[in-house]
Amino acid sequence: MKSLRILMLALFALFAVTLSAQKPNVYVLATGGTIAGSGTSSVSTNYTAGQVAIGTLLDAVPQIKDIANVVGEQVVRIGSQDMDDATWLLLAKRINELQASDSVDAVVVTHGTDTMEETAFFLNLTVGGTKPVVMVGAMRPSTALSADGPLNLYNAVVTAVSPASVGKGVLVVMNGRIYGADGVVKMHTTNVDAFGAPNSGALGYVLNGKAVYEASPKRPGGRPMFNVSGVDELPKVGIAYGHAGVSPDVVESMIKNRYRGIVYAGVGNGNIHKNLFAALEEARRKGIIVVRSSRIVSGPTSLENEVDDEHYQFVASQLLGPAKARVLLMLALTQTDDWRKIQSYFNLF
Ligand code: GLU
């Protein structure tokens, strides 16, 4: 009788091991943000980001264990307003390691929403391999009524284990939608439906535990545009914001502080106020790369419209807004100072 019980237990254990071996292995890299936020009230927006550890977050969504074997790793624990170049490089290198590991099928990155689009874009330019990489966050802290983090996290894992996500580059899953890293933008400061892709639209959605794609990203994943394996620091690039009556002070200060690139968040189609034009020309004369972008959330900043880019050697950011244009310019400057070559990178977007 006793030996029968031992045999039954052994069979059950073997069954459990076989089942978990069949499930994909998802590696969750945690960086903090509201998804790990904790507040003193369930009905207020007052809370501190990044308080809850990744193990606790995963334990709050036991359904994830039905679809994946999940391992969590806490990379940093910050509000994403404090994101920096060093953490981007750390994340890119770690994900490239995971892409090369036989025991990992997909990667999920939990992240604050404030700079999620910048991190997603940085990773999309620097991570190789075709395994899905899915970024996710939340707009409400884990202690709020109707916290959106648990479902977002579940949907992110659903997307990460979907064979349809292979080779799509870095994805962002928020509020039931799947976005490509190049097009995604935070569009609302507080609403749970905070993200959009005003130029390209969402790639798809997640419903009832299934990821459904309606479109493919313009640039497929696979080969990284930039190899950062030997890069420990990124060139200094700043953003100057255009507005009526703008002064050249910010641009002059960037020249003085030896920035290697300046992104101008211009008005309209990246147009430049006359007060600022001379300072940007001066920057270019000193070898600084000047990228014209726009403070407008949709549409391109296109070459050769109201500004003679060829004459001034300015670069037009195409469909990249100022924050993403800065990311691309930093990475481009690790390779070249040639403004035409840098324009060719921007022309891919
Ligand atoms: N500001 C914090 C961050 O971006 C919280 C905002 C959020 O995650 O939604 O990490």
The residue to mutate among 77, 80, 84, having the most atoms of ligand 1 within 8 angstroms of its beta carbon, is 80
CATH number for 119: 3.40.50.1170
Per-residue pLDDT reduced to its tens digit, 235-259: 999 999 999 999 999 999 999 999 9
163 and 47, same domain (yes or no): yes
pLDDT at 73 over 60: yes
Per-residue pLDDT reduced to its tens digit, 182-208: 999 999 999 999 999 999 999 999 999
**What domain range is 335 assigned to?**
237-346
Euclidean distance between CA atoms 294 and 308, whole angstroms:
16
CA of 141 to the centre of ligand 1 (A): 9
110 and 256, same domain (yes or no): no
Tokens 């060719």 found at: 344
Tokens 């904790």 found at: 38
Tokens 């292995």 found at: 25
116 and 258, same domain (yes or no): no
Instruction: Give the torsion sign (CA, 299, 305, 306, 312).
Output: positive
189 and 265, same domain (yes or no): no
Residue 15: per-residue pLDDT:
47
Please give the residue that has the higher pLDDT: either 288 or 56: 288
**Pocket of ligand 1 from Cβ distances under 6 Å:** 32-34, 49, 79-81, 112-114, 137, 139
Catalytic residue among 31, 34, 110, 126: 34
Instruction: Provide mean pLDDT across the span 284-305.
Output: 96
Q: Do the bridges between strand 177-180 and strand 204-207 make them parallel or antiparallel, or are there none, so unpaired? A: antiparallel
196 and 280, same domain (yes or no): no
Per-residue pLDDT reduced to its tens digit, 12-38: 455 455 546 689 999 999 998 877 766
CA of 290 to the centre of ligand 1 (A): 30
Using the 3D structure, point to which of 180, 213, 246 is the last residue of a domain.
213
Residue 150 lies in a domain: yes
SS3 305: coil
In the residue annotation, 110 being an active-site residue is answered as no
Residue 57: per-residue pLDDT:
83
184 and 261, same domain (yes or no): no
Residue 276: per-residue pLDDT:
94
165 and 248, same domain (yes or no): no
The residue to mutate among 35, 52, 83, 113, having the most atoms of ligand 1 within 8 angstroms of its beta carbon, is 113
User: Are 156 and 209 within 8 A, CB to CB?
Assistant: no
Residue 61: per-residue pLDDT:
92
Residue 66 lies in a domain: yes
266 and 136, same domain (yes or no): no
189 and 264, same domain (yes or no): no
Residue 89: per-residue pLDDT:
98
CATH number for 267: 3.40.50.40
35 and 158, same domain (yes or no): yes
Binning pLDDT at 50, 70 and 90, where does residue 178 land?
A: very high
User: Are 290 and 314 within 8 A, CB to CB?
Assistant: yes
Residue 208 lies in a domain: yes
Residue 54 lies in a domain: yes
Residue 170 lies in a domain: yes
139 and 255, same domain (yes or no): no
Lowest mean pLDDT among 15-19, 283-287, 326-330, 337-341: 15-19
Residue 223 lies in a domain: no
Question: Quick one: DSSP state of residue 301?
Answer: B
CA of 99 to the centre of ligand 1 (A): 27
CA distances from 139 to 3, 47, 102, 145 (A): 54, 11, 34, 12
Q: How many residues are there in the chain? A: 349
Ligand 1 atom closest to the Cα of residue 32 is 10
Residue 224 lies in a domain: no
Residue 253: per-residue pLDDT:
98
Structural domains in the chain (count):
2
266 and 196, same domain (yes or no): no
Residue 141: per-residue pLDDT:
87
Please give the residue that has the higher pLDDT: either 38 or 149: 149
CA of 302 to the centre of ligand 1 (A): 32
pLDDT at 330 over 90: yes
User: Are 289 and 341 within 8 A, CB to CB?
Assistant: no
Residue 232 lies in a domain: no
